[in-house]
Amino acid sequence: DSGVTQTPKHLITATGQRVTLRCSPRSGDLSVYWYQQSLDQGLQFLIQYYNGEERAKGNILERFSAQQFPDLHSELNLSSLELGDSALYFCASSGGLAGASSETQYFGPGTRLLVL
Amino acid sequence: AQSVTQLGSHVSVSEGALVLLRCNYSSSVPPYLFWYVQYPNQGLQLLLKYTSAATLVKGINGFEAEFKKSETSFHLTKPSAHMSDAAEYFCAVSDLGSNYQLIWGAGTKLIIKP
């Protein structure tokens, strides 16, 4: 158990819909990362938040957005969903020293999203 | 741009045999290197990491990896495979050029034959 929790575990929805994925980081971790894992694209970094502020952006679509709240939990919002958005979405957290390049990221169990 | 290449999307070894998973990276500055493992239906878990100390890094579950700067490699090995090692393994690199974000390899699925 990494200490990172994600809800829900599974989500089935239709094209055009909007969903919110939730992540609670390990106790004391300030950084939260979001990743998308799909069969064709592999593991893709989406976005990082550090202590409530966006720190780095990866291959995140404009239809996707995220935020980190004062209690450090984070939400990833996916809108206007397409079939290709079906994937496993992971959240990870780290101790969060900004720019600490050798930090270990601790991954949650993921949310499996299926868009029909 | 930084990149990570993992040779072989699938590697199959017999139980008890040597495990060798290959990872090559491109980086113009000293990198930090990581191996993560993903067991079926689970998130990723750190196996080991290189942070410019010893070039031979020991990790969990009997795995180790050697940083070879001249070969830009960070191959993962284990002397004797167990059935429980069946999983997907990801190599990742971070350095100043990536603003210290992890750049991930495509992953190698390790299959253990009884």
Average predicted confidence (pLDDT) for chain B: 91
Q: Do B43 and A2 touch (CB under 8 A)?
A: yes
pLDDT attached to residue B13: 97
Q: How far apart are CA A59 and CA B28, in angstroms?
A: 23
Chain B interface includes A65 (CB < 8 A)? no
Predicted confidence band of residue B66 (pLDDT cuts 50, 70, 90): very high
Distance (Å, whole) CA A8 – CA B6: 32
How buried is B26 (Cβ within 10 angstroms: 0-12 exposed, 13-18 middle, 19+ buried)?
Answer: middle
- CA Rg, chain B, in Å? 13
Q: What is the reported pLDDT for B97? A: 66
For B32, the closest of A48, A101, A110 (CB atoms) is A101
The predicted pLDDT at position A87 comes to 96
Give the mean pLDDT of A61-78.
Answer: 97
- The alpha-carbon gap from A21 to the nearest alpha carbon of chain B, in Å, equals 15
Mean pLDDT computed over A66-85: 97
Nearest Cα residue in chain B from A41: B106
